[in-house]
Structure 1
Amino acid sequence: MFRKLSAELFGTFWLVFGGCGSALLAAGIPEVGIGLVGVSFAFGLSLLTMAYAVGGISGGHFNPAVSLGLAIANRFAWTELLPYWIAQLIGGVAGAAVLYLVASGTTGFSAGGFASNGYDALSPGGYSMVAALVAEIVLTAAFLIIVLGATSNAVATGFAPLAIGLAYALIHLVSIPVTNTSVNPARSTAAALFAQNGALGQLWLFWLAPLLGAALGALIWRFILAPDDTSAI
């Protein structure tokens, strides 16, 4: 169990450091900034690389919503859910802390939004709370279906991290303008703790919506798409 939790901690660390780091350090550089597309692929690549690196140890969740969805789909032990959540949160906060240390090493640094998630005034595109809630639920549900499908017995082994990482990039391409993309409560919590824009006050949505979406996606997979699936992740 120690190795599993260590893998989840380090994987979530890398997801936050790599994904949020790309948004904070590289997205807005004049003339050479990577922009929305670059940040989206940075999140996808962060997930893909760690899924290959340590997915064989812990299953490569790196996300409390994914762990919940897998438990609902009978792919993950309920008794391990809370320890996984704790490891993911610690890893995410550690990633954000190291990112803060790096980012603050330049003149005139201000944490600002610190790649945090939000709605209304904190939404990059000014989207409402309802829009944010719907987007996060739908996208997390779709993500869980992709995770469960890509890791099922019906799919060739070895390609799941690629499909999951690309799906994660696609999700960011869609929803960065809406919420700055959560789909992951650990990532949202980590960024909100260091943000200076009031993101903590909206953090409830970025726990509620991904967890609801994960449950919905898992139920759709379990009872509609693959009722006889017995795969293990």
Structure 2
Amino acid sequence: MEGKEEDVRLGANKFPERQPIGTAAQIQDDGKDYKEPPPAPLFEPSELTSWSFYRAGIAEFVATFLFLYITVLTVMGVVQSKTKCTTVGIQGIAWAFGGMIFALVYCTAGISGGHINPAVTFGLFLARKLSLTRALFYIVMQCLGAICGAGVVKGFEKTTYMSNNGGANFVQPGYTKGDGLGAEIVGTFVLVYTVFSATDAKRSARDSHVPILAPLPIGFAVFLVHLATIPITGTGINPARSLGAAIIFNRDRGWDDHWIFWVGPFIGAALAALYHQVVIRAIPFKSK
């Protein structure tokens, strides 16, 4: 029984679960105010026998399900209205996406890290914040949750869902595929860079309130990126969100540009991880 309690108390890669997004900051005995969490191993077979591993995956599934449910319903309410004045408009859509990320990261950070986005998971994996085993499991659960969330919306909006593109992402008229790819790269960079900065181990150690406030800048980053890029791509920056909507909509328009919403976010996440680790933290160049 004691072993099970210890397993629940320790989260991904034996980092304390109360630390958001897989980071852990601790006070050292040598007088320094923090130490870097140890890099996660590439493979962690023991995770597969840990309840916390599966609990984290379930949390990612449920969070992504709720994310798609609320956000795609909001999109449907805006696009099916004859005039935007009678709806929340583009600003409301942006607030729905950013607000849900804020709420869901707050709720799940202590269980799974609150990724809710394969691009975030990928960036943190590149920075060695979680193992490949956990990263792949998270991405699968996020995609399944997104598909289910979009499916429930379609069940509610039977008469208008298909005619209103089902909340699927595609490059809007007047923009090229290059424009869409660039928007997704930069937008995801902003999001993942914010995730790294908001959950930085050094900052968490020096400012005890940071782990509590971390979901706020992350949600706000999502809100701002949506304001900027909804007119270009409808804003993906989350491959699970784009995949779930595309599968349930299942029309050529939803699949024609779909590659952009995987390639762009993954490139943006990789660049953000590289920038944070090499430039901001200069970790590869620190003396041992």
TM-score with structure 1 setting the length: 0.90
Picking from 257, 260, 270, the partner of 1:205 is 260
1:197–1:25: structure 2 CA closer, same or farther, 3 Å change rule?
Answer: farther
Does structure 1 residue 16 correspond to structure 2 residue 68?
yes
Does structure 1 residue 81 correspond to structure 2 residue 173?
no
Give 1:38 shift: 0.2
Which whole-Å CA distance do the structure 2 matches of 1:79 and 1:227 have between them? 27
Which whole-Å CA distance do the structure 2 matches of 1:194 and 1:28 have between them? 18
Kindly indicate whether the alpha-carbon contact (under 8 Å) linking 1:112 and 1:197 is maintained by their aligned counterparts in 2: no
Partner of residue 223, structure 2: 169
Kindly indicate whether the alpha-carbon contact (under 8 Å) linking 1:28 and 1:35 is maintained by their aligned counterparts in 2: no
Query: Structure 1 residues 206-215 or 154-163, which shifts more?
Result: 154-163
Kindly indicate whether the alpha-carbon contact (under 8 Å) linking 1:27 and 1:38 is maintained by their aligned counterparts in 2: no
Query: Structure 1 residues 67-76 or 91-100, which shifts more?
Result: 67-76
Partner of residue 183, structure 2: 135
Give 1:110 shift: 3.4
Picking from 206, 231, 237, the partner of 1:183 is 237
One-letter code aligned to 2:176: S
Instruction: Please state whether the residue corresponding to 2:109 is helix, strand or coil.
Output: helix
One-letter code aligned to 2:127: A
Kindly indicate whether the alpha-carbon contact (under 8 Å) linking 1:111 and 1:194 is maintained by their aligned counterparts in 2: no
1:27–1:197: structure 2 CA closer, same or farther, 3 Å change rule?
Answer: same
Q: Which runs of 5+ in 1 are unaligned?
A: none
Partner of residue 223, structure 1: 278
1:205–1:17: structure 2 CA closer, same or farther, 3 Å change rule?
Answer: same
Does structure 1 residue 7 correspond to structure 2 residue 59?
yes
Deviations 1:78-117 (A, max 9, x none): 221111111000000000000100111x5x6534411111
Which whole-Å CA distance do the structure 1 matches of 2:281 and 2:71 have between them? 32
Partner of residue 27, structure 2: none
Query: Structure 1 residues 34-43 or 12-21, which shifts more?
Result: 12-21
Give 1:198 shift: 2.0
Deviations 1:38-64 (A, max 9, x none): 000000111111111122100011111
One-letter code aligned to 1:144: V
* Number of aligned residues: 223
Kindly indicate whether the alpha-carbon contact (under 8 Å) linking 1:17 and 1:96 is maintained by their aligned counterparts in 2: yes
Which whole-Å CA distance do the structure 2 matches of 1:109 and 1:15 have between them? 17
Picking from 93, 96, 99, the partner of 1:39 is 93
Instruction: Please state whether the residue corresponding to 1:60 is helix, strand or coil.
Output: coil
Aligned residues with identical type, % of pairs: 34
Which whole-Å CA distance do the structure 1 matches of 2:198 and 2:161 have between them? 41
Deviations 1:15-45 (A, max 9, x none): 1111121111245534421110000000011
One-letter code aligned to 1:141: F
Which whole-Å CA distance do the structure 2 matches of 1:56 and 1:96 have between them? 26
Matches within 5 A, 1:27-106: 28-29=80-81, 30=83, 31-104=85-158, 106=159
Q: Which has the larger radius of gyration?
A: 2
TM-score with structure 2 setting the length: 0.74
1:87–1:169: structure 2 CA closer, same or farther, 3 Å change rule?
Answer: same
Partner of residue 170, structure 2: 118
Kindly indicate whether the alpha-carbon contact (under 8 Å) linking 1:27 and 1:34 is maintained by their aligned counterparts in 2: no
